[in-house]
């Protein structure tokens, strides 16, 4: 958390608010957040314009006018708030002209900011080996089936969350996608029927698009850059609803452990 819809929301909002702006200075309150020599980092971003903000998987990529990029991973509890109130959890502050600021909060302190040169960018993402972007035109049903064939013995929820399989999906949306498809999270890929694979693919596309439209899911620490919660929580069917009644059949939603994560599902609606 945040996952693809939340990071995509932040990316779009940042482009509206800071694209084209020049960074006057930066204040670093938590040195370990910045994976670069601190003095060099401050000098590198000073008086530099932000050309663009893009996204790959759950990463934000801030393109600077000096041929460097800031790679930002918000991890579990990171927040980027435009003109936000600085608190004890504010570990990085970017100062712009006209008294605008962008604060980077992180309660659990798992996030990071890396500096990558333009020449190093392709190598960086090649090493990360992210899977396809699920909302790109290149990610079609044919490709999805080909990817599944390589992971026949894997459990479907586990591979949906694997960033090397598909980029950007995590615990929230894997639960919701599998409920949409009527498939249990513990099912092995080799047991999936063709119509179930089609439903999972359809769920990936539809649920991620709707979650972006609703500005993401604020089940815990996520806020958009205006400090507002996303609006997808009322649409959640199973995620974090363990013990509650299924909206479709009134059965109790179950929660099980899968590896180090949890899976939520309806034992009647999902097979």
pLDDT at 220: 83
Q: Are the beta carbons of 107 and 221 closer than 8 angstroms?
A: yes
Q: Are the beta carbons of 177 and 169 closer than 8 angstroms?
A: yes
Catalytic residues: 2-3, 58, 261
pLDDT at 224: 98
Query: From residue 162, how far is each of 156, 167, 265 by CA, in Å?
Result: 10, 7, 19
pLDDT at 222: 96
pLDDT at 22: 97
Q: Are the beta carbons of 33 and 104 closer than 8 angstroms?
A: yes
Regions of the chain where pLDDT drops below 50: none
User: How far apart are alpha carbons 165 and 152 in whole angstroms?
Assistant: 13
Q: Hey, which residues does 118 pair with through a beta bridge? A: none
pLDDT at 260: 87
User: How far apart are alpha carbons 178 and 266 in whole angstroms?
Assistant: 10
Q: Which domains does the chain have, with CATH numbers?
A: 4-128 (3.20.190.10), 141-265 (1.10.8.50)
Q: Are the beta carbons of 173 and 5 closer than 8 angstroms?
A: yes
pLDDT at 150: 97
Please report which helix (H) or strand (E) contains residue 91, including its range: strand 90-96
User: How far apart are alpha carbons 214 and 231 in whole angstroms?
Assistant: 5
């Amino acid at each position: 958390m945040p996952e693809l819809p939340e990071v995509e929301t932040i990316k779009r909002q940042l482009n509206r608010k800071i694209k084209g702006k020049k960074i006057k200075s930066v204040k670093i309150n938590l040195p370990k957040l910045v994976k670069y020599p601190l003095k060099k980092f401050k000098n590198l971003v000073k008086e530099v314009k932000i050309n663009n903000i893009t996204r790959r998987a759950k990463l934000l990529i801030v393109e600077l006018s000096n041929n460097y990029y800031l790679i930002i991973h918000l991890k579990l509890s990171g927040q980027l708030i435009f003109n936000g109130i600085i608190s004890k959890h504010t570990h990085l502050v970017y100062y712009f002209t006209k008294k605008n600021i962008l604060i980077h909060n992180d309660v659990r302190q798992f996030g990071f900011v890396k500096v990558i040169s333009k020449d190093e960018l392709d190598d960086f993402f090649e090493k990360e080996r992210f899977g396809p972007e699920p909302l790109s035109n290149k990610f079609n049903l044919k490709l999805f089936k080909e990817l599944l064939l390589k992971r026949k013995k894997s459990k479907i929820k586990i591979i949906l969350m694997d960033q090397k399989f598909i980029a950007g999906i995590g615990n929230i949306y894997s639960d919701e996608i599998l409920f949409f498809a009527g498939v249990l999270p513990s099912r092995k890929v080799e047991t999936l029927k063709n119509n179930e694979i089609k439903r999972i693919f359809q769920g990936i596309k539809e649920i991620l698009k709707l979650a972006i439209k609703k500005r993401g899911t604020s089940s815990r620490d996520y806020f958009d850059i205006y400090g507002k919660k996303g609006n997808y929580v009322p649409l959640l069917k199973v995620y974090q609803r363990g013990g509650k009644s299924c909206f479709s059949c009134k059965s109790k939603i179950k929660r099980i452990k899968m590896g180090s994560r949890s899976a939520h599902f309806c034992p009647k609606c999902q097979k």
